């Protein structure tokens, strides 16, 4: 893409150079102010295309330590310089044309075949050159090439005005040349105004029309985004830099938040292919949050682990109790300070009238273990089967594993229950089985039971 831009810019330089020389020679020989104006216009175009070429080369450089957003605005600087040259040219041409129309200067002007030929060639060259530049400018989003395309498009129309002026001269109207020069100056002013307005918008970071709405629409469609708080868009060369602040539920885990950021950036890029988006996530407290979720968020933000969160409303007063896991090596005084801080934060969140109770327990840590002997595993499995038969509804105790650690044995097992039972009922049954095993075998430190649905001949399968 960069090589295409540079190749087209070089082609434009060659065309401008050739037309400048041709118009200058013919204008000097014929004394035509309109043709001389066109020659001056082409000379400025030559300078502009040279600036365009170097601007395109510089703008293609990647971002560095001094230019964090790249060098794309070099094209805008070049376009602004071209604008100044266009207005300068139009001012000089208007001044000289006015002097000749008022009879204060100038000399006889000839409408020669060479004059007609150079203007016709100029129109043809400008037509095809403007089309090529405009196409490549759109493909590469190049302001400098777009400025060149605008120049040569205006050149074509101003050359048509010169052609009409030469026709007037051929018919004996000497003022036609100066009138054509004024028309050329007018076209140059219009081109300069259009180019200057667009360039200044870029240099002042004016967002492209409708871009903020496009970004907001794309971001809001991403699953997990509940609001788009702020959007900022700034163009620079062929890139568009986007900053967006998206609101998400504060209950989302960090990995999900990162996924949302990535998805928002991808959604924006799908709508604006040349964009580079920086997405900031703003956590939001949603009206749909449960008290348990709010408690877990507060605990997570304070860097502590909690579980078994229970919420009760007693005679209009809310009560929250939870288990707080802390480093087992902490002193009671230090642990109590952590608990007090968590309780204060929960009251700030849920209201000062809420009753908060924390149960401090040691945080479970990784422990080195080893598999228990097969005979020990068999004994535990038989005990579990006996207890399951006594409790009832628990069947097919299987996949029993026993690990020995320095702090005691850890037992894992699977069992099956009626799939129609509620989660609460299943939990109560499995919990009773776990407690019974610990009573039978005090060496067991922890029991983890996994319940599975039982599908068989005597149990109807439910969806």
* Rounded CA separation 56/52 (Å): 6
**pLDDT band at residue 337 under the 50/70/90 scheme:** very high
Find out whether 177 and 34 touch, Cβ atoms under 8 Å.
yes
Q: Which helix or strand (DSSP H or E) is residue 288 part of?
A: none
The residue behind tokens 């066109």 is 38
What is the fold of 369-453?
Alpha-Beta Plaits (3.30.70)
H/E element holding 444? strand 444-453
Q: In this structure, are residues 70 and 61 in contact, taking their beta carbons and an 8 Å threshold?
A: yes
> What pLDDT score does 462 carry?
38
In sequence order, the β-bridge partners of residue 317 are 314
Quote the tokens at residue 114. Answer: 């060479």
- Report the percentage of the chain scoring pLDDT > 70: 75
pLDDT at 461: 39
Domain boundaries, the chain: 2-203, 211-284, 291-362, 369-453
| pLDDT at res. 345 | 92
Q: Between 45 and 430, where is the model more confident?
A: 430
Helix (H, G, I), strand (E, B) or coil at 372: coil
Q: Mean of the pLDDT values across residues 166-181?
A: 74
Tell me the two tokens of residue 337: 């300070």
Residue with tokens 């309109």: 34
pLDDT at 147: 65
- CATH architecture, range 291-362: 2-Layer Sandwich (3.30)
Coil, helix or strand for 120? Answer: helix
**Mean pLDDT across 437-461:** 80
182-233 pLDDT, tens per residue?
777 777 787 778 777 777 777 776 777 888 999 999 999 999 999 999 999 9
Tell which CATH classification among 1.20.120.1200, 3.30.230.10, 1.20.1510.10, 1.10.3720.10 matches the domain 2-203: 1.20.1510.10
Q: Which strand ranges, in their side-by-side order, compose the sheet holding 355-362?
A: 305-314, 317-326, 355-362
What average pLDDT score do residues 307-321 get?
88
Q: Residue 209 has what DSSP assignment? A: T
Q: Assess whether the region 211-284 and the region 291-362 belong to the same CATH fold.
A: yes
CATH 3.30.70.1350 corresponds to the domain 211-284: yes
* pTM recorded for the entire structure: 0.52
- Cα–Cα distance for residue pair 296/298, rounded to 1 Å: 6
pLDDT of residue 189: 80
Question: Which candidate, 147, 143, 134, 132, places its Cα nearest to that of 47?
Answer: 147
Residues 6+ apart with CB under 8 A from 307: 322, 323, 325
Q: What's the chain's average pLDDT?
A: 80
| Alpha-carbon span 166 to 111, nearest angstrom | 6
**73-107 residue pLDDT tens:** 666 676 677 777 778 767 766 776 777 677 655 54
* Residues 412 and 450: beta-carbon distance below 8 Å: yes
Quickly state the pLDDT bin for 270 (edges 50, 70, 90).
Answer: very high
């Amino acid at each position: 893409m960069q090589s295409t831009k540079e190749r087209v810019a070089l082609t434009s330089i060659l065309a401008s150079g050739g037309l400048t020389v041709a118009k200058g020679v013919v204008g000097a020989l014929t004394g035509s102010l309109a043709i001389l104006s066109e020659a001056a216009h082409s000379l400025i175009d030559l300078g502009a295309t040279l600036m365009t070429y170097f601007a395109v080369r510089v703008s293609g450089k990647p971002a560095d330590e001094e230019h964090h957003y790249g060098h794309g605005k070099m094209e805008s600087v070049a376009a602004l310089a071209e604008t100044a040259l266009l207005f300068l040219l139009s001012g000089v041409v208007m001044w000289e044309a006015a002097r000749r129309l008022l009879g204060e200067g100038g000399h006889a002007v000839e409408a020669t075949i060479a004059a007609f030929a150079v203007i016709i060639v100029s129109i043809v060259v400008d037509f095809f050159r403007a089309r090529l530049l405009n196409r490549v400018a759109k493909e590469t989003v190049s302001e400098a090439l777009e400025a060149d395309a605008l120049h040569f498009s205006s050149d074509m129309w101003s050359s048509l005005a010169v052609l009409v002026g030469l026709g007037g001269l051929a018919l004996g109207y000497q003022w036609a040349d100066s009138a054509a020069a004024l028309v050329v100056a007018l076209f140059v002013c219009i081109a300069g105004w259009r180019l200057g307005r667009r360039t200044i918008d870029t240099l002042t970071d004016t967002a492209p029309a409708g871009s903020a709405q496009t970004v907001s629409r794309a971001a809001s469609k991403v699953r997990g985004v509940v609001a788009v708080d702020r959007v900022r868009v700034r163009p620079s060369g062929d890139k568009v830099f986007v900053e967006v602040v998206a609101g998400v539920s504060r209950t989302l885990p960090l990995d999900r938040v990162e996924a949302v950021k990535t998805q928002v950036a991808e959604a924006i890029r799908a709508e604006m292919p040349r964009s580079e988006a920086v997405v900031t996530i703003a956590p939001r407290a949603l009206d749909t949050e449960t008290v348990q979720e709010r408690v877990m968020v507060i605990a997570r933000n304070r860097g502590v682990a909690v579980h078994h969160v229970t919420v009760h409303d007693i005679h209009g007063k809310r009560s929250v109790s939870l288990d707080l896991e802390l480093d087992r090596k902490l002193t009671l005084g230090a642990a109590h300070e952590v608990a007090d801080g968590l309780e204060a934060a929960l009251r700030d969140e849920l209201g000062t009238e809420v009753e908060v109770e924390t149960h401090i327990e040691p945080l479970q840590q990784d422990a080195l273990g080893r598999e228990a002997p097969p005979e020990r595993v068999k004994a535990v499995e038989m005990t579990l089967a006996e207890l399951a038969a006594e409790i009832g509804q628990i069947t097919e105790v299987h996949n029993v594993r026993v690990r020995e650690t320095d702090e005691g044995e850890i037992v894992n097992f699977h069992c099956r229950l009626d799939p129609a039972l509620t989660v609460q009922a299943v939990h109560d049954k499995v919990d009773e089985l776990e407690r019974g095993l610990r009573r039978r075998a005090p060496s067991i430190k922890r029991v983890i039971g996994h319940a599975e649905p039982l599908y068989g001949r005597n149990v109807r399968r439910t969806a």
